[in-house]
Structures are given as C-alpha cells and as structure tokens.
Amino acid sequence: MDINKDDQLIKASELVRTSRVGVHSHIRGLGLTDELDPRPVSNGLVGQLRARKAAGYIVRMVKDGKVTGRAVLLAGQPGTGKTAIAMAIAKEMGEGTPATLMSASEIFSPEMSTAEALTQAIRRSVGIRIKEETEIIEGEVVEVTIERPATTSGAKAGRLTLKTTEMETIYDLGGKMIESIIKENIAAGDIITIDKATGRIAKLGRSFTRARDYDAQGAQTRFIQTPEGELQKRKEVTHMVSLHDIDVINSRQQGFLALFSGDTGEIKQEIRDQINQKVAEWKEEGKAEIVPGILFIDEVHMLTIECFAFLNRALESDNAPIVIMATNRGITKIRGTNELSPHGMPMDLLDRTLIIMTEPYSEADIKQILQIRCEEEDASVTEEALNALAELAKSTSLRYVMQLIMVAKVLCRRRKATEINTEDISRSYRLFSDERRSEEWLNRLSDQFLFHHGTNGQLNLA
Ligand code: ADP
Ligand code: ADP
C-alpha cells in the first residue's frame, strides 16, 4: 500500500516537472563564433547561415551601443525561420537589453490609437540604466538596546552597536529605526545593512562567529563573514527600467500597478515630454545611460500606411530602438492605399531598411530541425519516423509537422511504446488536417457553406 502511494507521488512530481514547450523554445542564440561565422547547427538553430551571420552583425551593432534607429526586415517564405532568428537575436542581446516581441495586429485595439500603441511598443524597447550611489552602513550587530518609555506617550529610545573586523560604533536610534529593528527581528550576531538615505534595514545573514551560539537556528540561516573595513560604505546600484515603465509609473491616473495588469491605457504627451527631459538631465549628469533595445514586429505587412509613416518618423529620434520587422509577403498593396510595393511597405521606409532574406530549407536541414524539436519535446522517434516527418514537411509545412510531433507522442504513449514510429505519424496526420487538405475539403463542400469564396475568388451563395 505504502509503496503504491510512493509510486503515485513520484508520478505526480514528474508531471509537475514537464514544463510547457513553446514553438521556439529550442532556440538559445544565433550560434555564431566570435568572428560572427555561423556554426551549421548550434544554439538550436540549423542552416540559414547567411541570415544568421547578418543578424549577428546587427546584434554587435546594438551591443556596441553606437547605433540607434535602424530598421531591419526579415523577408522570406512562411516557416523559413524569421521569427526563430528574431528570437535568437533577442537571446543574444542578453538580460540587460530590452526586447519587445509583437505581431503587427497587436497595434490595432479599441483601447488606444495606433500611434499610442506604437509609441508604447517603442518606449518598451528603450532601456534606462540608472546608476545610483548610496551610502550604507554595513556591519555585525554587537548589541541592540531599546528602552521602553515610562509613559505610553513617551518616545522610545534605543542604541545599536555595530562592528566590522576593524571598528565598532554605537548609533542612536530614532523611532522609525526602532520599529524596523523590531519588525526585522534584528539581534546580536546578525549582519545587516542600513541604507542611510531611506533608513531601510536589511538582514544579510548571521555571523560565522555565532554559528554555534544557538541551537534553534533554522536550516535556511545564512552564515557570512563579519564585514571588513569601515562601517560606512558607498555602494553603486544600477536599475534597469524601460522608458515605458517610467511613463506608466509617473502617469497619475495609472500608477505602478498598471505595470502588472498591463492595462496602461493612453499616456499623455506632456508626461512623456517631462520624462524625456528628466532622462536627458540624468544622462547629462552621468546618472543614467540610455540603452536602445530591440522592437520586433512580426507580420509587418499588417500595418497601415499611417503606422509606417509614424514608425519612419520615430526612427529618426535620438533614442529609438532597432526595429526588426518580418514579413512573408512579396509585392503587395500597402494597407490603407492602392499602391503596390515590395513587402507591402512604403518605399521611404524600405529605403532605410537593412533587408535579410531567409531561404527555404533543404531536406537535410528540415530533418535536423525536426530532430532538435523532438529532443526539445522529449519525444524519441525512430529514424524511419523522422524521415517520414521530413518528407511530410515538404508537402505540408514545417510548422504543421512540428505540431504532429506532439500528437504522435500522445498516440505512441497510448500504445505503451517509448519510440514514435511511422504508424504514429500517419495516424496523427490523418487525425489533424493541414492547410492544403482543409482547403480542398472546403472547396469540395463549398455549396454547403454560407458565403463561401472559393479559391478562384468567386463567391458561392448557398
Ligand atoms: P517564420 O517566422 O519564417 O514563418 P518560424 O520562425 O515560425 O518561421 O519557423 C517555424 C518553426 O520552425 C518554428 O518553430 C521555428 O522555431 C523553427 N525553425 C525555423 N527555422 C529554424 C532553424 N533554422 N533552426 C531551428 N529551428 C527553426
Ligand atoms: P533591479 O535592477 O535592482 O532589479 P529594478 O530596475 O527592477 O531594480 O527596479 C525595481 C522597481 O523600481 C521597478 O519596478 C522599476 O520600474 C522601479 N524603479 C527603479 N528605479 C526607478 C526610477 N529611477 N524611476 C522610476 N522607477 C524606478
């Protein structure tokens, strides 16, 4: 009985451990050498060497911080890795650089104008690294004495003795400090820091010298060395915030809680002007550094001519991020006009855009990508099944076949096998339709659907 229970526990915990796997989760970077040469298969990326190398140059440009306001367009057929490369660029930029990934259709919403939505997206992608020097007092508590006043109305008084390896000082405590000492439960032997400006006390841990004093210390107690040198120290702290974060925090109707709800609404231009001025001052005084990041807009042909005009102007400002766009369209109409243009983008924006083309994959590349995806989804496949998947990808699409892996894995598990075989693949292929088959089916049954347009563009009214 007990053993059974344990078994179940183990299974439950294994279930918890299987995390969800996003479609690009296998991508960890661009997979380039220091000389920016692409390794054939690296960081989860396969092939597409020229595009990856070009992307590498863009990352280097942004990281050097010399350029702002450039536009890049990833152009290529669906499923040729445009989003994958954009994700890899964001990964390469590292933690410190803001990167916003969005689809052009997100610009259009009933809550705000397109200009506002674009402005927010742009300001999300520009970081401000704020440097602050603060004075702190850091040491080991030797003694805390808090004197209770004789009458309830009297103020409390107290003293705190702190030491480092070299010195010891007694501080008088005010009412606020006393409260936080009681709240934080500070006692002799604790190592603490006090922020001089705010009076905030933080407990860092307990002194090693006190390790054996108490029996009743929790397992989480952190033991650290008594600080050396002076009690008072200067410490530089840096914060990274985006311009948009600062906008939201300072916009009075919203307050910082809006950052968590994502419900930011429109922000007044005068607030932005004030913030721009403040940031410029900070920059002048050396307190802050502006870090242009990356704004990725997928399906960029969905933008209207007004949006493109707005983007074009925004790119001219000093602190614009690098805008990376992606599209799978050829020569098509610019939305909101009757003009034809490459990629559905106006010429004046195309003109200042670096274009990276992605190419269709060879069968070997597709097989390699599918192999990586199978590993990512923790699915083992037979060589035959992998070949079948790659073959299918040619007649359907890479993205469709990737979905099949997940289905085949479930089918495989249901027949209590560990390795996906061709039968699992073909069963999942029959279960779920790809785009071509569903289109054929719709056309075959066209007269049974209302308002069916047919592939020849003719409308059949049933
Ligand atoms: P696109 O944006 O060009 O339509 P995606 O980037 O969405 O194509 O590619 C489809 C799928 O194939 C995604 O899951 C993507 O992560 C993966 N993929 C595409 N190209 C590569 C590649 N070169 N290496 C690894 N995975 C890739
Ligand atoms: P850290 O870099 O130490 O993790 P954060 O940058 O996350 O700190 O700052 C903590 C919070 O305080 C964030 O929500 C950030 O938006 C806000 N914040 C920090 N500094 C400022 C500032 N100078 N102006 C406005 N908001 C700030």
Residue nearest to atom 23 of ligand 1 (CA): 46
- Flag whether the ipTM exceeds 0.85: no
CA distance 24 to 45: 10
Distance 315 CA to ligand 2 centre (A): 26
Total residue count of the chain as it appears in this document: 462
Residue nearest to atom 18 of ligand 1 (CA): 81
Most informative mutation of 239, 254, 274 for ligand 2 (most atoms within 8 A of CB): 239
Pure H helices in 35-105: 49-64, 82-93
Ligand 2 pocket, 241 CB below 6 A?
yes
| Cβ atoms of residues 89 and 326 within 8 Å | no
- The single-letter code of the amino acid at 283 is K
| Cβ atoms of residues 122 and 320 within 8 Å | yes
Structure tokens belonging to residue 72: 């890049």
DSSP 321-387: PEEEEEE---EEEPBTSS-EEETT--HHHHHTEEEEE--PPPHHHHHHHHHHHHHHTT-EE-HHHHH
Which atom of ligand 2 lies nearest, measured to the CA of 130?
23
CA distance 14 to 25: 20
Distance 239 CA to ligand 2 centre (A): 5
Most informative mutation of 49, 52, 369, 404 for ligand 1 (most atoms within 8 A of CB): 369
- Among all ligands shown, which has an atom nearest to the Cα of 279? 2
Distance 267 CA to ligand 2 centre (A): 19
CA distance 392 to 432: 13
CB contact set of 421 (below 8 Å; sequence gap of 6+): 381, 382, 384, 385, 412
Taking CB atoms within 8 Å and a gap of at least 24, the contacts of 366-375 are 366/390, 366/393, 366/394, 366/398, 368/41, 368/46, 368/47, 369/46, 369/398, 370/401, 370/402, 370/405, 372/26, 372/41, 372/44, 372/46, 373/26, 373/402, 373/405, 374/405, 374/420, 375/26
CA distance 213 to 141: 14
Ligand 1 pocket, 88 CB below 6 A?
no
CA distance 410 to 341: 45
Residue nearest to atom 10 of ligand 2 (CA): 239
Q: Which of helix, strand or coil describes residue 136?
A: strand
**What is the Cβ-side half-sphere exposure of residue 401, based on CA atoms within 13 angstroms?**
22
pLDDT in tens, the chain (462 residues): 344 444 434 344 334 334 456 788 888 889 998 888 998 888 889 999 999 999 999 888 878 766 767 899 999 988 899 989 998 998 888 777 888 889 999 989 888 889 999 999 999 999 998 888 888 999 999 999 988 776 666 677 889 999 999 999 999 888 888 888 888 889 899 999 998 888 888 888 888 887 766 555 666 678 888 999 899 988 887 888 999 988 888 876 655 665 565 566 788 888 899 999 999 999 999 888 888 888 999 999 999 999 999 999 998 887 889 899 999 998 999 999 998 999 999 998 998 899 999 999 998 999 999 999 999 888 889 998 999 999 888 888 888 899 889 889 989 988 888 899 888 888 888 888 777 777 777 777 666 665 555 555 454 443
Ligand 2 pocket, 249 CB below 6 A?
yes
Ligand 1 pocket, 46 CB below 6 A?
yes
On whether the pTM is more than 0.80, the answer is no
CA distance 228 to 231: 8
Element (H, E) at 137: strand 126-147
| Cβ atoms of residues 225 and 106 within 8 Å | no
Structure tokens belonging to residue 58: 């863009």
Residue nearest to atom 19 of ligand 1 (CA): 81
Q: For residue 400, what are the CA distances in angstroms to 87, 327, 390? A: 20, 19, 11
Distance 133 CA to ligand 2 centre (A): 14
| Cβ atoms of residues 417 and 386 within 8 Å | no
Residue nearest to atom 16 of ligand 1 (CA): 24
Ligand 2 pocket, 275 CB below 6 A?
no
3-state helix, strand, coil in the chain (%, to 5): 40, 25, 35
Residue nearest to atom 5 of ligand 1 (CA): 81
Residue nearest to atom 13 of ligand 2 (CA): 241
Ligand 2 pocket, 245 CB below 6 A?
yes
Residue nearest to atom 8 of ligand 2 (CA): 239
Angle between helix 422-431 and helix 398-414 axes, rounded to 10 deg: 110
Q: For residue 318, what are the CA distances in angstroms to 68, 70, 126, 190, 315? A: 7, 11, 11, 48, 8
